Structure 1
Amino acid sequence: MIPSTIDLINCEQEPIHILGHIQSYGYLIAIEPDTYSVVHASDNIVDLVGTDAAQLLGQSIDKVLVGTHLPISTLTEILNVGQRNDSWETMNPHRLILNGKVWNLIVHQHKGLVILEWEPIGNDQNQLINQQLISQALTEVQSSRTLDELLQNTARRVKTIIGFDRVMVYQFGDDWHGQVVAEEKEDDLEPFLGLHYPASDIPKQARELYKVNLVRLIADAGSVPSPILSKPGWPASQPLDLTHSVLRAVSPVHIEYLKNMGVQASMSMSLLYRGELWGLISCHNRTPHFVDYQARQAAKFVSQLLSAALEFRKDKEDLTNLQQYQQTGRELHQQLLLNDDVVRALTKLPITALDITGATGAALIFNNKIHQLGKTPDDKQIRALADWMGTTGTESFLQTNQLPVLYPPAEAFRAVGAGLLSIVLSRELNEYLFWFKPERVEQVTWAGNPDKPVTVNEEGQRRLSPRKSFAAWTEIVRNTSEPWSEAELSVVVKLREDILQIVTRQANEIRLLNQRLQVAYEELDAFSYTVSHDLRTPLSSIRCYAEILLEEYGEDFSPDAQALFQKVIDSTDRMRRLIRHILFYSRMGRSELDTQPIDMRQLLNGIREEILVTSKDRSLRIDIGDTPPIMADPTMALQLFTNLISNAAKYTQLAVEGWVQIKGTQTDSEVIYSIEDNGIGFDMKQAGKMFDLFKRLENARTFEGSGVGLAIVKRIINRHQGKVWFHSEPNQGTTFFVSFPVNPTK
Structure 2
Amino acid sequence: MTNFDVDLTNCDREPIHILGHIQSHGYLIAILPDTYTIVHASANLPELIGRPVSEVLGQSLEILLAQTSLPATTVVELLNVGRRTGSWDNINPHRLQISDQVWNLIIHEHDGLLVLEWEPTDQNLRLSLNQRLISEALTEVQSSRQLNDLLQNTARRVKAIIGFDRVMVYRFGSDWHGQVVAEEKEDYLEPFLGLHYPASDIPRQARELYKINLVRLIADADSTPAPILSESTWPDNHPLDLTHSTLRAVSPVHIEYLKNMGVHASMSISLLYRGELWGLMSCHHYSPRFVDYSSRQAAKFVSQLLSAALEFRKDEENQTLLRQSRQNGQYLHDQLVSDEDVVRALTRHSITALDLTSASGAVLLFNNQQHRLGNTPNEAEVSELANWLKNTTTETFLETHQLPSLYPLAEGFKDKAAGMLAIVLSRELNEYLLWFKPERVQQVTWAGNPQKAVTVSNEGQVRLSPRKSFDAWTELVHNMSDAWSEVEVSAAVKLREDILQVVTRQANEIRLLNQRLQVAYEELDAFSYTVSHDLRTPLSSIRCYSEILLEEYGQDFNPDARALFQKIMDSTDRMRSLIRHILYYSRMGRTEINAQSIDMKQLLQTIKEEVLIAEKDRSLTIDIKGTPPFSADPTMVTQLFTNLLTNAAKYTRSKEEGHIQVKGQQTDQEVIYSVTDNGIGFDMKEAGKMFDLFKRLENARSFKGSGVGLAIVKRIVSRHQGKIWYHSEPNRGATFFVSFPVVAVD
TM-score by length of 1: 0.97
Partner of 1:539: 539
Partner of 1:140: 140
Q: Deviations over 1:346-389 (max 9, x none)?
A: 00111100001000000000000000000011111111111111
Q: 1:166 to 1:652 in 2, by over 3 A?
A: same
Q: Deviations over 1:613-634 (max 9, x none)?
A: 2111112222222211111112
Q: 1:431-450 alignment to 2 at 5 Å?
A: 431-450=431-450
> Hey, what's the Cα distance between the residues in 2 that align with 1:380 and 1:505?
30
Q: How far did 1:654 drift?
A: 1.4
Partner of 1:604: 604
Q: How far did 1:242 drift?
A: 1.5
Partner of 2:717: 717
Q: How far did 1:266 drift?
A: 0.4
Partner of 1:219: 219
Partner of 2:279: 279
SS of alignment partner, residue 364 of structure 1 = strand
Q: 1:140 to 1:619 in 2, by over 3 A?
A: same
Q: How far did 1:65 drift?
A: 3.9
SS of alignment partner, residue 618 of structure 1 = coil
Partner of 2:630: 630
> Hey, what's the Cα distance between the residues in 2 that align with 1:80 and 1:212?
25
Partner of 1:738: 738
> Hey, what's the Cα distance between the residues in 2 that align with 1:602 and 1:508?
40
Partner of 1:615: 615
Structure 1 unaligned blocks of 5 or more: none
> Hey, what's the Cα distance between the residues in 1 that align with 2:268 and 2:509?
65
> Hey, what's the Cα distance between the residues in 1 that align with 2:493 and 2:183?
40
Partner of 1:643: 643
Instruction: Please say which of residues 550-559 and 190-199 is displaced more in the overlay.
Output: 550-559
Q: 1:155-304 alignment to 2 at 5 Å?
A: 155-304=155-304
Instruction: Please say which of residues 69-78 and 553-562 is displaced more in the overlay.
Output: 69-78
Instruction: Please say which of residues 540-549 and 145-154 is displaced more in the overlay.
Output: 540-549
Partner of 2:318: 318
Amino acid of the structure 1 residue aligned with 2:718? N
Q: 1:8 to 1:651 in 2, by over 3 A?
A: closer
Partner of 1:588: 588
Q: 1:35 to 1:396 in 2, by over 3 A?
A: same
Partner of 1:668: 668
Q: How far did 1:39 drift?
A: 2.2
Partner of 1:422: 422
Partner of 1:38: 38
Q: How far did 1:190 drift?
A: 0.7
Q: How far did 1:518 drift?
A: 3.2
Q: How far did 1:500 drift?
A: 0.8
> Hey, what's the Cα distance between the residues in 2 that align with 1:224 and 1:649?
50
Instruction: Please say which of residues 70-79 and 677-686 is displaced more in the overlay.
Output: 70-79
Q: Deviations over 1:465-521 (max 9, x none)?
A: 111111110111111111111111111111111111111111368732266433222
SS of alignment partner, residue 664 of structure 1 = strand
Q: 1:680-691 alignment to 2 at 5 Å?
A: 680-691=680-691
Q: How far did 1:163 drift?
A: 0.6
Q: How many residues align?
A: 744
Q: Does 1:77 align with 2:77?
A: yes
Instruction: Please say which of residues 128-137 and 9-18 is displaced more in the overlay.
Output: 9-18
Amino acid of the structure 2 residue aligned with 1:138? L
Partner of 2:330: 330
Amino acid of the structure 2 residue aligned with 1:31? I
Partner of 2:473: 473
SS of alignment partner, residue 44 of structure 2 = helix
> Hey, what's the Cα distance between the residues in 1 that align with 2:696 and 2:17?
33
Q: 1:240 to 1:163 in 2, by over 3 A?
A: same
Instruction: Please say which of residues 725-734 and 64-73 is displaced more in the overlay.
Output: 64-73
SS of alignment partner, residue 687 of structure 2 = helix
Amino acid of the structure 2 residue aligned with 1:585? Y
Residues 681, 732 of structure 1: 8 Å contact kept: yes
Q: Deviations over 1:321-349 (max 9, x none)?
A: 11110011001111111102210110011
Q: Does 1:368 align with 2:368?
A: yes
> Hey, what's the Cα distance between the residues in 2 that align with 1:508 and 1:704?
42
Q: Deviations over 1:610-669 (max 9, x none)?
A: 212211111222222221111111221111111111111211111212122112111111
SS of alignment partner, residue 428 of structure 2 = coil
Partner of 1:727: 727
> Hey, what's the Cα distance between the residues in 1 that align with 2:514 and 2:113?
70
Instruction: Please say which of residues 430-439 and 140-149 is displaced more in the overlay.
Output: 140-149
Q: How far did 1:208 drift?
A: 1.4
Q: Deviations over 1:416-443 (max 9, x none)?
A: 1111101111111110000001111101
Residues 721, 744 of structure 1: 8 Å contact kept: no
Q: Does 1:86 align with 2:105?
A: no
Q: 1:100 to 1:328 in 2, by over 3 A?
A: same
SS of alignment partner, residue 693 of structure 1 = coil
Residues 41, 229 of structure 1: 8 Å contact kept: yes
Partner of 2:677: 677
Amino acid of the structure 2 residue aligned with 1:133? L
> Hey, what's the Cα distance between the residues in 1 that align with 2:596 and 2:9?
67
> Hey, what's the Cα distance between the residues in 2 that align with 1:695 and 1:5?
36
Q: 1:554 to 1:63 in 2, by over 3 A?
A: closer
Q: 1:361 to 1:543 in 2, by over 3 A?
A: same
Instruction: Please say which of residues 104-113 and 374-383 is displaced more in the overlay.
Output: 104-113
SS of alignment partner, residue 351 of structure 1 = coil
Q: Deviations over 1:550-594 (max 9, x none)?
A: 122211222112111111111111111111111121122222222
Q: Deviations over 1:138-166 (max 9, x none)?
A: 11111251111111111101000001010
SS of alignment partner, residue 372 of structure 2 = strand
Q: 1:123 to 1:705 in 2, by over 3 A?
A: same
> Hey, what's the Cα distance between the residues in 2 that align with 1:267 and 1:632?
61
Q: How far did 1:4 drift?
A: 12
Q: Deviations over 1:169-213 (max 9, x none)?
A: 111111111111111001111111111111111112211111111
Q: 1:510 to 1:532 in 2, by over 3 A?
A: closer
Amino acid of the structure 2 residue aligned with 1:190? E
Residues 162, 299 of structure 2: 8 Å contact kept: yes
> Hey, what's the Cα distance between the residues in 1 that align with 2:368 and 2:38?
77
Partner of 2:511: 511
Instruction: Please say which of residues 415-424 and 13-22 is displaced more in the overlay.
Output: 13-22
Residues 448, 470 of structure 1: 8 Å contact kept: yes
Cα root mean square deviation, aligned = 1.8
Q: 1:252 to 1:601 in 2, by over 3 A?
A: same
Q: 1:347 to 1:70 in 2, by over 3 A?
A: same
Partner of 2:454: 454
Amino acid of the structure 2 residue aligned with 1:467? R
> Hey, what's the Cα distance between the residues in 2 that align with 1:587 and 1:4?
58
Residues 9, 462 of structure 1: 8 Å contact kept: no
SS of alignment partner, residue 621 of structure 1 = strand
Partner of 1:111: 111
Partner of 1:28: 28
Instruction: Please say which of residues 136-145 and 262-271 is displaced more in the overlay.
Output: 136-145
> Hey, what's the Cα distance between the residues in 2 that align with 1:90 and 1:68?
26
Residues 162, 295 of structure 2: 8 Å contact kept: yes
Q: How far did 1:34 drift?
A: 2.5
> Hey, what's the Cα distance between the residues in 2 that align with 1:343 and 1:140?
51
TM-score by length of 2: 0.97
SS of alignment partner, residue 518 of structure 1 = helix
Q: How far did 1:18 drift?
A: 1.9
Q: 1:731 to 1:195 in 2, by over 3 A?
A: same
Q: How far did 1:59 drift?
A: 2.5
Q: 1:545-564 alignment to 2 at 5 Å?
A: 545-564=545-564
SS of alignment partner, residue 90 of structure 1 = coil
> Hey, what's the Cα distance between the residues in 2 that align with 1:47 and 1:656?
43
SS of alignment partner, residue 157 of structure 1 = helix
Partner of 2:308: 308
Instruction: Please say which of residues 306-315 and 13-22 is displaced more in the overlay.
Output: 13-22
Q: Deviations over 1:529-557 (max 9, x none)?
A: 21112211221122211222112221122
Q: 1:3-22 alignment to 2 at 5 Å?
A: 6-7=6-7, 10-22=10-22
> Hey, what's the Cα distance between the residues in 1 that align with 2:712 and 2:37?
59
> Hey, what's the Cα distance between the residues in 1 that align with 2:583 and 2:517?
22
Amino acid of the structure 1 residue aligned with 2:56? L
